[in-house]
Amino acid sequence: MVTGLMNNKQFKKLKEVNPVLFKTVTSLFDELVQIRRDLRKHPELAFQENRTSSIVAKYLKSWGYEVQEGVGKTGVIGILRGQEEGKVIGLRADMDALPMPDEIEEEYKSIHEGVAHTCGHDIHTTNLLGVAKVFSLIGVKKGTLKLIFQPAEEIGDGAKAMIEDGALENPRMDMMAGLHVAPSLRVGEFSVSNAEYSGAAVDIFKLEVSGKGGHAAHPHLAIDSVMITAQILVALQQIVSRQIDPLDSVVLSIGQINGGTKGTILPDTVTVNGTVRTLKPETRKEMEERIRQIADNIAAAFGGSCKLTYDYSCPSVKNDDAAKQFFIETVTDIFGHEAIQYSNPSMGGEDFSYFSQEVPAVFFRLGTSSGEATSYSIHNTKFNGDEKAMLYGVAIMSCLVQSYLQKEEW
């Protein structure tokens, strides 16, 4: 049984508002902990989530769901149809782990060296399985519940792969919701973006700056690709500070520069790898154009040339106004106004964005911290969220499903 929650003011309100859901969710806690620890112990990288997806499919089948496997390579979809026709709500969880060590001091730490659930996707997956179990017990009267267990979020390809495999259809969803753990929030707290976008579009670029190699003692006989690169990099930062509206969030960062073999040799070429993060689609397009213009012109001015390779990865995560307001109302109804916080958009990426571009959606954060041991940030080797957070995650998503399918209109 769950300790510490029965007297919790927020959770007691859930008992008052929805006693059946309260009883159902709390009764699942021990089973959810067991599932989550098993997933934490056996993490799998992007598009390698074979064991995880097999476990998910097995549970869904045993609970009476229609199950589609191998969607987007290793994705799984579970569908539970109500007694009557109605709207379709979709919930999504990502399943993949990160290529990094697991340094938690628990018996359920990763058994796979260099692979760990340090972004909380084990919690996400377990949380959605909890929702699945809830509705296998209490049923769906009207409408359809569609659960999407997605691979490969960490490389930004999983959602797109599932969509290309038909995840949006059969049945088509009318609304979607997704969440991410947040160790910056306490257990029992939720946050949602105060703007139209929840997360940034992620683009990757590469510059190949070409000059003419030569002896460092005779730079006038060469075309110095290193110096050209330096001029380009300084100028690129002027895009953000001088050419983009200060109220329009943009990040341009350089993470890698390669060139040369020795300090006395001017290299023929220098390569630069970086990333651009934007919120607005029009700004996203503008950034590529400005980077190309600056790089080409500066390189030409010094007698060199520059090739830009620009890869549009995930789009920005868009929160539908009605879906976001519905989420806020649901949180306040069952947990109170103090449970919801409003945050600025994150400039980090999240490929739930592909779903949010196609279906009215809301993406929110679930608090997982209850002290020092559970406060390590995601992507930290010691990240380990408080498992009681799953009760809040299961409860809020279950309430979203119940309320949405019962609503005649937004």
Q: Is 121 annotated as a binding residue?
A: yes
Confidence of residue 6 (pLDDT cuts 50, 70, 90): low
Question: Could you count the other beta carbons within 10 Å of the beta carbon of residue 27?
Answer: 14
pLDDT for the residue 7: 55
State the fold for domain 201-312.
Alpha-Beta Plaits (3.30.70)
pLDDT tens-digit readout, 265-310 = 999 999 999 999 999 999 999 999 999 999 999 999 999 999 999 9
pLDDT tens-digit readout, 116-130 = 999 999 999 999 999
Span 314-327, mean pLDDT? 98
Span 350-360, mean pLDDT? 98
pLDDT for the residue 405: 97
CA distances from 299 to 61, 302, 304, 400 (A): 60, 6, 5, 54
Span 203-223, mean pLDDT? 98
Span 296-325, mean pLDDT? 98
Residue boundaries of the structural domains of the chain:
9-198+316-406, 201-312
Span 34-39, mean pLDDT? 99
Q: Is 180 annotated as a binding residue?
A: yes
Residues 115, 97 contacting (CB under 8 angstroms): yes
CA 67-68-70 angle, 5° bins = 140
Q: In this model, does residue 409 exceed pLDDT 80?
A: no
Pick the CATH number of 9-198+316-406 from 3.40.50.720, 3.40.630.10, 3.40.50.880, 3.40.1000.10: 3.40.630.10
pLDDT tens-digit readout, 174-200 = 999 999 999 999 999 999 999 999 999
- Say whether 336 sits in a helix, a strand or coil: coil
Identify whether 171 is preceded by a cis peptide bond (ω within 30 of 0): yes
% pLDDT > 70, the chain: 97
Residues 325, 250 contacting (CB under 8 angstroms): no
pLDDT for the residue 2: 62
Span 40-48, mean pLDDT? 99
Q: In this model, does residue 4 exceed pLDDT 70?
A: no
- Say whether 266 sits in a helix, a strand or coil: strand
The β-bridge relationship of strands 317-318 and 201-210 is unpaired
Residues 227, 258 contacting (CB under 8 angstroms): no
Q: Is 42 annotated as a binding residue?
A: no
Q: Is 105 annotated as a binding residue?
A: no
CA dihedral 310, 314, 320, 323 (to 10 degrees): -170
Distance of CA 337 to the CA centre of its chain: 25
9-198+316-406 and 201-312 in the same fold: no
pLDDT for the residue 245: 96
Q: In this model, does residue 1 exceed pLDDT 60?
A: no
Burial class of residue 217, CB neighbours in 10 A (0-12, 13-18, 19+): exposed
Residues 65, 79 contacting (CB under 8 angstroms): yes
Determine which helix (DSSP H) or strand (DSSP E) holds 175, and give its type and residue range. Answer: strand 175-186
Compute the mean pLDDT over every residue in the chain, rounded to the nearest whole number: 97
pLDDT tens-digit readout, 335-346 = 999 999 999 999
Of 341, 356, 358, 206, which is closest to residue 279 (Cα–Cα)?
356
Q: Is 337 annotated as a binding residue?
A: no
